[in-house]
Amino acid sequence: MRLFVAVNPPEPAVAELASAVHDLRALPGAERLRWAERPGWHFTLAFLGEVDEALLPELTERLGRAAHRHPAHALRLAGGGRFGDRVLWVGAEGEVETLRGLARSVIAGARRAGVVVDGTHSFHPHLTLARSGGGRVNLRPYVAALVDFRGREWRAERLELVRSRLPGGGVPGERPRYETIAAWELGR
Ligand code: 2AM
């Protein structure tokens, strides 16, 4: 099964972001972007890819330990950026170092459980808002529109192991479905 490990912002922070995204969607070219669906907005700490179900018991054990070792921490959604012209994201401010440490433990734990985790990219906390489909869209105006976005503070308290089911029917524009299959309170 296809898995990733994430932290999800709580509803009040999501609602503020939704209002900023509503404005972004009025910018030129917005209809050509694939917008991530609001219920799935998350910070990916590690993308695990296809994981053999046999590894799940050890993986969940190790992720639970990683969650235990890092405290709940204060974050806010703030600013924006892009990965080339492919991905538009909103960033995080606050106790980001704690989130980074958690991501490192998650990756190390997953590896010890036998999962092959791509380690070529350094962890860059971001919540993906939109991806460019085939059509090239200049993302700079979107990033500029997010510069002043600074949401309320919230506490990252939960680590989640999420299953991603890719759309099967080949329906253009269909999004993956996310399902949390295990979760742990941080620092407990
Ligand atoms: P992204 O937000 O930067 O696109 C579920 O697909 C999550 O895992 C997404 O948030 C995605 O990050 C992340 N991810 C990281 N590497 C990925 C990959 N190779 N394929 C799909 N998703 C990946």
Which domains does the chain carry? Answer: 2-185 (3.90.1140.10)
* 162 C-alpha to ligand 1 centroid (Å): 12
User: Across 22-148, where does the E strand assignment appear?
Assistant: 33-35, 43-50, 73-83, 87-94, 127-132
Question: Which residue out of 3, 42, 44 has the highest number of ligand 1 atoms within 8 Å of its CB and is therefore the one to mutate?
Answer: 44
pLDDT digits (tens, 9 = 90+) for 106-140: 999 999 999 999 877 789 999 999 999 777 899 99
Ligand 1 binding pocket (C-beta < 6 A) is: 4, 44, 47, 87, 128, 164
Radius of gyration of the chain (CA): 17
pLDDT(47) > 80: yes
pLDDT digits (tens, 9 = 90+) for 77-111: 999 999 999 999 999 999 999 999 999 999 999 99
Here the tokens at position 9 are: 């912002």
pLDDT of residue 25: 97
Using alpha carbons only, what angle is made at residue 153 by residues 147 and 154, rounded to the nearest 5 degrees? 125
**Residue 126 designated active-site:** yes
Of 102, 92, 98, the closest CA to residue 154 belongs to: 92
pLDDT digits (tens, 9 = 90+) for 164-187: 998 876 666 678 899 999 999 999
Of 91, 87, 90, 84, the closest CA to residue 34 belongs to: 87
The whole-chain average pLDDT of the chain stands at 95
Kindly list the strands in the beta sheet with 43-50, ordered across the sheet, starting from the edge strand earlier in the chain. Answer: 43-50, 2-7, 158-165, 177-185
Choice among 22, 42, 73, 124 that is catalytic:
42
**Pairwise CA distance, residues 125 & 105, whole Å:** 15
Q: Are 131 and 33 in contact (CB under 8 A)?
A: yes
Residue closest by Cα to atom 3 of ligand 1? 128
Question: Which residue out of 1, 4, 116 has the highest number of ligand 1 atoms within 8 Å of its CB and is therefore the one to mutate?
Answer: 4
Residue closest by Cα to atom 17 of ligand 1? 47
pLDDT(33) > 90: yes
**Residue 124 designated active-site:** no
Question: Which residue out of 35, 37, 47 has the highest number of ligand 1 atoms within 8 Å of its CB and is therefore the one to mutate?
Answer: 47
* 44 C-alpha to ligand 1 centroid (Å): 7
